[in-house]
């Protein structure tokens, strides 16, 4: 197993280097090596002090997540025990931190007596994002070191902090401007020479004692985190473990932390979140586009169309420090669109999440123009005009003429054929889909759609651009709806059929919200705008199979101008200025009318029918998309639905969730629905094969 701890001697100071590229993961071997080195240098009279550092580009990225599913090898070193030895050392131990100290990596540093970092270092305890709690003393040492509330923010938030923030909180003792190792060795030598008391976090009782006098802080914290933590177990387990740091002696708190850690590590939620972690990294691996494929450096960008999407995409570039020119047909259109951009930034400033200076800086990166000539310097242009093929083709013809020869021409289309758009240019190899999700400056998914002719360089460019924009890029193939919206179609279709069969919109929405989706399908449609899907349905009407049942209710709602929140009514009614959905008897009438026309005898639909009826067909469509090669792997589909539609991360995405449910179960249920409702619910061949072989989607392609 990989992982070692190198030892260098510097005039009485032992420098221990954690070595296990690429992130110095604390594998079982690494923990054993660290324990052995600590014992070695503690016993060495020639060593007066110790410095712990990381080899390569970072201090340590934490425990090796890949080892979580395997039981520890017999006699495996316990990280908490190794850290306890190190902290108890009579010889000063200084942590020299660069790059990243995350999870167990930061816990190693917390067991040192002094922590030094360099500017640019990021530190944190992201275990909660993996569905676990810090398992090597983080929930016990950090509150003692920096106080309970700040520790709760760090541990439950799970974010990595900048070195300066960590200094302000007291996580690090100094941010070193000069050479980190020189500074750390000098500090260690000085501590040894001074011979003063060493600060051991586990022995600091003042802050936890003070918190003991304020028992309400944990209830208050649970209350304020409730919305964000809805459905997740780990955040609440983190609070429980920090609460133990206040109510229990250190040793008992550590034992409780270990029990909580082991319970969560074995949970489906943690397995799902670990799956999501690796899935995001797998999605960047394209079999026929090696990582070394040269990409076009993106220094300047342009957007055509300054509507909601165009404005949001412009913000995404500006936020990433990339100057961007927005082109639209008139000054009025630009005024309107850029006013929305400014309002969005102002709202973030008002919430204290962005400084006014940063807002001004970002706005200054957004130029405007009504002339295509002004995109000539752009390395990439993203078209974000209305979802009509002839309009998009006209835009691409003009871009083809105006852009520099090697520019990438991207379309933000959400369903249209990228190949048809590419065919209108002289450079189809430079054309690709970059499907952002609304609001584009917030949603992290970037569904990159490769056309038949998209070149490796074009693909590499947009996949690298995704990371630079802070997005999660997933490469998909061309079909109606690509991956995200293609799976959305059967989900919405079955939800609408359930209405005709007897379930009111608020029941379907409630059950799917309780499952963990950010909102149910009808509230989501009212938020996104019912006219968007109405227009798509009209485009598809000509080719929709006539023999398949189709619910007219959504069309009838739109024919009445009920486009959702933006018109004050859709599937629900909205009081002026309110976003609270109110059930509307008119919609009930439309549903009952459609059911009568279809000869459907309405009934009481059970809550327990709704998740299978809406999500199994979504998973079934995922099996087709996988089989057709539109998605490279099942985990890519999971990423699309977690980052594009808010599928709960603690369920790992629809395909991982389906594997947990069991494909045999899903296949049998779908077969029954197929018998009852007809061919649209026929199980996909891949689903059938996997169910019969007792396999999972996760086995496909491996
Ligand atoms: N374990 C295993 N593999 C890891 C890993 C880890 N902790 N961290 C990264 N990798 C792999 C990753 O899959 C990728 O592999 C490669 O390393 C580069 O990663 C006891 C129990 C550290 C900020 O949650 O957040 O400690 O794709 O592309 O952008 O309490 O990696 O090349 O094959 O992300 O420079 C807690 C997880 C673990 C941190 C670096 N630690 N990692 O980002 O590189 S639990 C974490 C990250 C724990 C203790 C508990 C990031 C990074 P491949 P990368 P990066």
The reply to whether 299 belongs to the active site is: no
Q: Which residues pair with 475 in a beta bridge?
A: 448
Q: Which of 100, 98, 107 is nearest to 155 (CA)?
A: 107
User: What local confidence, expressed as pLDDT, does residue 75 receive?
Assistant: 85
Do residues 114 and 199 lie in contact, with contact meaning Cβ atoms separated by under 8 Å? yes
Q: Crossing angle of helices 654-661/634-645, nearest 10°?
A: 120
CA angle 283, 284, 289 (to 5 degrees): 120
Do residues 364 and 341 lie in contact, with contact meaning Cβ atoms separated by under 8 Å? no
Residue 546: pLDDT band with limits 50, 70, 90: confident
Taking only the tens place, the pLDDT of each residue in 644-667 is 999 999 999 999 999 999 999 999
Residue with tokens 């048809």: 420
Q: For residue 457, report the distance from its CA to the centre of ligand 1, in Å.
A: 27
Residue 72: pLDDT band with limits 50, 70, 90: confident
Q: How does DSSP classify residue 160?
A: P
Find the mean pLDDT for residues 471-476. 97
Of the segments 67-71, 546-550, 648-652, which one has the largest average pLDDT value? 648-652
Task: Return all residues near 81 (Cβ < 8 A) that are at least 6 apart.
Answer: 35
Q: How far is CA 5 from the centre of its chain?
A: 33
Tell me how far apart the alpha carbons of residues 109 and 145 are, in angstroms, rounded to a whole number. 12
Tell me how far apart the alpha carbons of residues 529 and 538 are, in angstroms, rounded to a whole number. 15
Judge if the beta carbon of residue 106 lies within 6 A of ligand 1: no
What is the best residue among 61, 142, 162, 283 to mutate for testing ligand 1's pocket, by most ligand atoms within 8 Å of CB? Answer: 61
More reliable by pLDDT, 460 or 535? 460
Tell me how far apart the alpha carbons of residues 31 and 35 are, in angstroms, rounded to a whole number. 6
Tell me how far apart the alpha carbons of residues 189 and 184 are, in angstroms, rounded to a whole number. 8
Over its C-alpha atoms, the chain yields an Rg (Å, rounded) of: 28
Do residues 88 and 66 lie in contact, with contact meaning Cβ atoms separated by under 8 Å? no
User: What local confidence, expressed as pLDDT, does residue 642 receive?
Assistant: 97
pLDDT at 690 over 70: yes
Q: For residue 650, report the distance from its CA to the centre of ligand 1, in Å.
A: 18
Residue 30: pLDDT band with limits 50, 70, 90: very high
Distances in Å between the Cα of 512 and the Cα atoms of 414, 607, 615 are: 24, 10, 9
Mean pLDDT of the chain: 96
pLDDT at 1 over 80: no
The reply to whether 679 belongs to the active site is: no
By alpha-carbon position, which residue is closest to atom 31 of ligand 1? Answer: 61
How many other CB atoms sit within 10 Å of the CB of residue 362? 22
Judge if the beta carbon of residue 281 lies within 6 A of ligand 1: yes
């Amino acid at each position: 197993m990989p992982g070692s701890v190198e030892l260098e001697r510097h005039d009485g100071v032992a420098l221990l280097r954690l070595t296990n590229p690429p992130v110095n993961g604390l594998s079982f071997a690494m923990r054993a090596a660290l324990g052995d080195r600590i014992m070695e240098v503690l016993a060495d009279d020639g060593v007066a002090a110790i410095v712990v550092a990381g080899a390569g580009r970072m201090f340590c990225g934490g425990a090796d997540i890949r080892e979580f599913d395997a039981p520890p090898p017999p006699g495996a070193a316990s990280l908490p025990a190794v850290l306890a030895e190190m902290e108890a050392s009579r010889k000063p131990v200084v942590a020299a931190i660069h790059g990243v100290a995350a999870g167990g990596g930061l816990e190693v540093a917390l067991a040192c007596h002094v922590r030094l970092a360099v500017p640019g270092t990021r530190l944190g305890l992201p275990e909660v994002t993996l569905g676990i709690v810090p398992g090597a003393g983080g929930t016990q040492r950090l509150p003692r070191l920096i106080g309970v509330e700040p520790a709760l923010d760090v541990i439950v938030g799970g974010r990595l902090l900048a070195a300066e923030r960590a200094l302000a909180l007291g996580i690090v003792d100094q941010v070193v401007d000069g050479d980190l190792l020189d500074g750390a060795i000098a500090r260690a030598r000085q501590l040894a020479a001074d011979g003063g008391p060493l600060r051991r976090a586990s022995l600091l009782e003042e802050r936890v004692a003070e918190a003991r006098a304020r028992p309400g802080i944990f209830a208050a914290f649970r209350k304020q985190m409730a919305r964000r933590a809805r459905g997740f177990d780990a955040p609440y387990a983190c609070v429980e473990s920090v609460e133990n740091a206040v109510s229990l002696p250190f040793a008992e708190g550590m034992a409780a932390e270990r029990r909580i850690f082991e319970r969560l590590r074995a949970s489906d939620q943690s397995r799902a979140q670990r799956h999501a972690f690796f899935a995001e990294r797998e999605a960047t691996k394209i079999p026929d586009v090696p990582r070394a494929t040269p990409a076009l450096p993106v220094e300047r960008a342009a957007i055509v169309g300054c509507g909601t999407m165009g404005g949001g995409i412009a913000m995404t570039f500006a936020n990433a420090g990339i100057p961007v020119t927005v082109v639209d047909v008139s000054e009025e259109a630009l005024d309107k669109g850029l006013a929305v951009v400014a309002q969005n930034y102002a709202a973030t400033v008002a919430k204290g999440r962005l400084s006014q200076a940063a807002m001004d800086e970002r706005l200054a990166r957004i130029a405007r123009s009504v002339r295509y000539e002004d995109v000539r310097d752009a390395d990439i242009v993203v078209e974000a005009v209305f979802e009509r093929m002839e309009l998009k083709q006209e835009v691409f013809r003009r871009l083809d003429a105006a852009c520099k020869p090697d520019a990438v021409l991207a379309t933000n289309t959400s369903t249209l054929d990228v190949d048809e758009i590419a065919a209108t240019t002289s450079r189809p190899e430079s054309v690709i889909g970059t499907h952002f999700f609304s609001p584009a400056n917030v949603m992290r998914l970037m569904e990159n759609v490769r056309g038949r002719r998209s070149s490796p360089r074009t693909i590499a460019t947009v996949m690298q651009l995704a990371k630079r924009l802070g997005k999660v890029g997933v490469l998909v193939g061309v079909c109606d709806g690509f991956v995200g919206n293609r799976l959305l179609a059967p989900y919405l279709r079955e939800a609408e059929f359930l209405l005709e069969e007897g379930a009111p919109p608020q029941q379907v929405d409630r059950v799917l919200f309780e499952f963990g989706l950010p909102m149910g399908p009808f509230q989501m449609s009212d938020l996104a705008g019912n006219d968007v899907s109405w227009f798509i349905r009209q485009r598809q009407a000509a080719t929709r199979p006539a023999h398949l049942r189709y619910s007219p209710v959504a069309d009838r709602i739109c024919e009445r101008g009920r486009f959702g929140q933006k018109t004050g009514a859709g599937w629900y009614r909205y009081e002026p200025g309110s976003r609270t959905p109110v059930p509307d008897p008119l919609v009930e009438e439309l549903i009952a009318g459609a059911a009568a026309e279809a000869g459907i005898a309405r009934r009481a639909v059970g809550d327990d029918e709704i998740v299978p009826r809406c999500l199994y067909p979504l998973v079934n469509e995922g099996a087709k998309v996988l089989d057709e090669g539109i998605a490279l792997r099942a985990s890519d589909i999971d990423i699309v639905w977690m980052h594009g539609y808010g599928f709960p991360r603690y369920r790992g995405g629809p395909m991982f969730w389906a594997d947990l449910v069991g494909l045999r179960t899903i296949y049998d249920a779908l077969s029954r629905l197929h018998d009852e409702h007809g061919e649209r619910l026929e199980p996909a061949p891949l689903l059938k094969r996997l169910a019969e072989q007792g396999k999972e989607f996760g086995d496909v392609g491996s």
